[in-house]
């Protein structure tokens, strides 16, 4: 999203312009939970339509919240991952999930384990763990492409 498409210079409004739709934070959640491909995210129980998922992935990529690399064995397959900017969204997710668990506990049961994991980690710990996993996976794919 370019600066000309933001509604105002308000930090909250700008943040909502970038991640305030009903799918973006769910995509971030899915990536934090280990999903990597378009298909894995499409199969999430919320049931995002393929055109909307493609649009949100593009928008999150343009805003440097996510990035991707191509699979070694199939250039059509993209593996998505969170950037540092994307990983920092965990605090927003954590607070929304806490709020939901407090006021709507019957609706928050699916991701209690994820909520507990987020609660116990700092941004730095999550970033280290996530980037270590990503780096190892990317190196493995690189070796497959360049034996």
Which pLDDT belongs to residue 28?
Answer: 96
Which pLDDT belongs to residue 3?
Answer: 46
Which pLDDT belongs to residue 144?
Answer: 56
Residue for token digits 């996530």? 130
Q: What angle do CA 145, 136, 68 make, to 5 degrees?
A: 65
Which pLDDT belongs to residue 102?
Answer: 83
DSSP, res 33: T
Domain that holds residue 61: 3-145
The whole-model pTM stands at 0.76
Which pLDDT belongs to residue 23?
Answer: 97
For residues 100 and 25, give the distance between their C-alpha atoms in angstroms, rounded to a whole number: 14
pLDDT beneath 50: ranges in the chain: 2-3
The domain that holds 96 is classified in CATH as 1.10.10.10
Q: What is the number of domains present in the chain?
A: 1
Which pLDDT belongs to residue 91?
Answer: 84
């Amino acid at each position: 999203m370019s600066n000309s498409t933001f509604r105002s210079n308000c930090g909250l409004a700008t943040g909502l312009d970038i991640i305030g739709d009903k799918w973006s934070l769910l995509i971030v959640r899915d990536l934090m939970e280990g999903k990597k491909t378009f298909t894995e995210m499409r199969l999430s129980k919320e049931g995002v339509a393929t055109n909307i998922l493609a649009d949100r992935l593009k928008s999150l990529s343009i805003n440097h919240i996510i990035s991707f690399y191509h699979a070694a064995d199939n250039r059509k397959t993209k593996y998505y991952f969170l950037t540092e900017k994307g990983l920092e969204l965990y605090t927003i997710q954590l607070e929304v999930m806490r709020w939901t668990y407090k006021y709507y506990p019957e609706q928050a049961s699916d991701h209690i384990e994820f909520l507990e994991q987020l609660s116990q980690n700092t941004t730095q710990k999550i970033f280290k763990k996530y980037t270590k996993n990503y780096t190892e996976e990317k190196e493995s794919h690189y070796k497959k492409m360049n034996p």
